[in-house]
Amino acid sequence: MSKQAWLVGRDGVPHPIDPRVDASPSGRPYRLYRFLTEVEELLEAAGDPEPRLVALAARVRRLLRDAPWLSDELEPAPVDPGYSIEALYDEPGLESVVQLVAWLAGGARGAHDHGHLALVAVLSGVERHTFWRRRPDGDTGDAGLEQVTTLELGPGSLVALAPDAVHSVEVLADVVSLNLYGASPRSSVAALDAGEHAL
């Protein structure tokens, strides 16, 4: 398992990306406030989500490289409920959400999309992401889901998800990840029924 970065769109096919991280031109560390400002600008930009996701992936990689304090924030999930979510920053009116998420092995989340740009960077542990494609029925839009592929993401790996990308997640080894959402996950996640292959 390598420290790869992937981009997934509506078709459910993971495409490798290379989010280049350049040295800071000023020699100063990349601070959380700068990261949040750049994320906000990228999320507000119009146009194709794919170039913005690659740019977001580069910002996340740079933050992880330049923010050693993040490792101080890594705490395992409690046994009950088996996961924990810690917002790195929250402000009224700020739509983007950056969280540290910890899950115990065996945790899972069914098929869902985010309705906004999303990115998951694994800091420790292993997650299996299964990607799905919507099947059109010709009249009403979506007739169900079909599985496309799976990826196992370990430390240093990330996946950038277009708003209509559908994935499910299984935690194979206790995991901590940095999750970035274009809007609050509570307001934008659409759960889909992959078990029945129907939306």
Average pLDDT over residues 88-108: 90
Q: Cβ(112)–Cβ(191) under 8 Å?
A: yes
- How many domains would you assign to the chain? 1
> Residue 110 contacts by C-beta under 8 Å, 6 or more apart in sequence?
168, 191, 192, 193, 194, 195
Query: How many degrees, rounded to 5, is the angle at CA 60 between CA 188 and CA 13?
Result: 60
**124 inside domain:** yes
Task: Tell me, yes or no, whether 21 lies in a domain.
Answer: yes
Specify the pLDDT at position 75.
Answer: 82
Q: Is residue 35 part of a domain?
A: yes
Specify the CATH number for the domain of residue 17.
2.60.120.10
Which pLDDT score is estimated for 199?
35
Q: Per-residue pLDDT averaged across 29-42, rounded?
A: 91
The pLDDT of 131-139, averaged and rounded, is 79
Would you say residue 121 has pLDDT above 60? Answer: yes
Q: What mean pLDDT comes out for the span 80-109?
A: 91
Q: Is the pLDDT of residue 151 over 50?
A: yes
Determine the pLDDT at residue 26: 66
Enclosing domain of residue 172: 5-191
Give residue 198's pLDDT: 38
Confidence class of residue 191 from pLDDT cuts 50, 70 and 90? low
Whether 50 is in a domain gets the answer yes
Residue 33 covered by a domain: yes
Q: Which residue has the higher pLDDT, 6 or 20?
A: 6
Domain membership of residue 197 (yes or no) is no
| Residue 190 pLDDT class (50, 70, 90 cuts) | low
Mean model confidence pLDDT for the chain: 87
**Is the model's pTM score more than 0.85?**
yes
Q: What is the mean pLDDT of residues 178-187?
A: 76
CA distance 141 to 181: 25
Closest CA to 190 of 120, 127, 111, 135: 111
**Residue 196 domain-assigned (yes or no):** no
**Which two tokens mark 186?**
């509570």
pLDDT in tens, 43-80: 989 889 999 999 999 999 999 998 888 878 778 899 99
91 occurs within a structural domain: yes
Structural contact between residues 185 and 117, judged by C-beta atoms closer than 8 angstroms? no
